[in-house]
Amino acid sequence: MECRLQYMTAELEEAQAALSRKHLQQQVIIDRAEAAEQQRDSLSAQLAGAKDELTQAFSRNDSLLVHLKMTREDVARAQRLVQARTDTEHALTNEASDVLAALAHCVAESEGFHSKLAQHSMDEAERRAKSQEFHSCVAKLISSLGAELLKYSAEAAVHLRDVVTKGKEIETSSTEQLNAVLQAVANMQEGAKHHTAQARDVVTAGTTNTAQQLDAIKHDSAAHGAHAQKSIGK
């Protein structure tokens, strides 16, 4: 019995030892399970935090994308403004160059106009001087023609008186001589009127051949006077 009791005691001790080992193993498993659950909870919390951070990152990314889009639009708008400003500056530069060229052309033309005006002033002064000289010559010619006409009229009156005196003496030829004298006087008067009209036409027209015309008028006047004297002498 004692042997059996010892055997059973030994078996009991072994069973208790095995049970203790099982309890220890179970406790280790429980500790591991608890540790795993804690790690799972920690990882779940970390995962939730990561999800939150990822959501926040997505929202920040969306806001950054919107800001980037706005920034790109601002950059494109700024580039368009810079391009428009550059085009405007080029256009203004071209217009300024055209204006400067036009001003230079106007200055050159104004210098030409000034020289032309100066030349025109000189020509006008010369023309006025020639016109004054022409008028003085015509006035002198008219004066000389008037004096010659008066002289011829006086001579015609003297010859007329002589003819009248001779007509009383010679009645037969007096009528023909008187008619000749009257015709000569009429011719002289007509020539004087004609020469006066020509002189006035010359003064009015103001031609360039003034000296030649005046000489022609004087020559015609002298010829008429000589013809009248010759007719009266007859």
Q: Residue ranges per domain, the chain?
A: 128-233
Please give the chain's pLDDT, 234 residues, in tens. Answer: 677 777 778 888 888 888 888 888 888 888 888 888 888 888 888 888 888 888 888 888 888 899 999 999 999 999 999 999 999 989 999 998 898 888 888 888 877 777 888 888 888 888 888 878 877 776 777 777 767 767 766 776 777 677 667 766 665 555 666 666 667 667 766 766 666 666 666 556 554 444 555 555 556 655 655 555 555 454
d(CA 175, CA 229): 18
- List the structure tokens of 57: 């990152």
pLDDT for the residue 31: 86
pLDDT for the residue 232: 47
pLDDT for the residue 83: 92
pLDDT for the residue 73: 92
pLDDT for the residue 49: 86
d(CA 198, CA 192): 10
pLDDT for the residue 23: 85
Q: What share of the chain is helix, strand, coil (3-state, %, to 5)?
A: 95, 0, 5
The backbone torsions φ and ψ at residue 156, rounded to the nearest 5 degrees and listed phi first, read: -65, -40
Q: Which residues contact 211 (CB under 8 A, 6 or more apart)?
A: 137
pLDDT for the residue 178: 64
pLDDT for the residue 105: 85
pLDDT for the residue 87: 92
Q: How many CB atoms within 10 Å of residue 187?
A: 14
Residue the block writes with tokens 């004298």 = 181
pLDDT for the residue 208: 45
pLDDT for the residue 183: 73
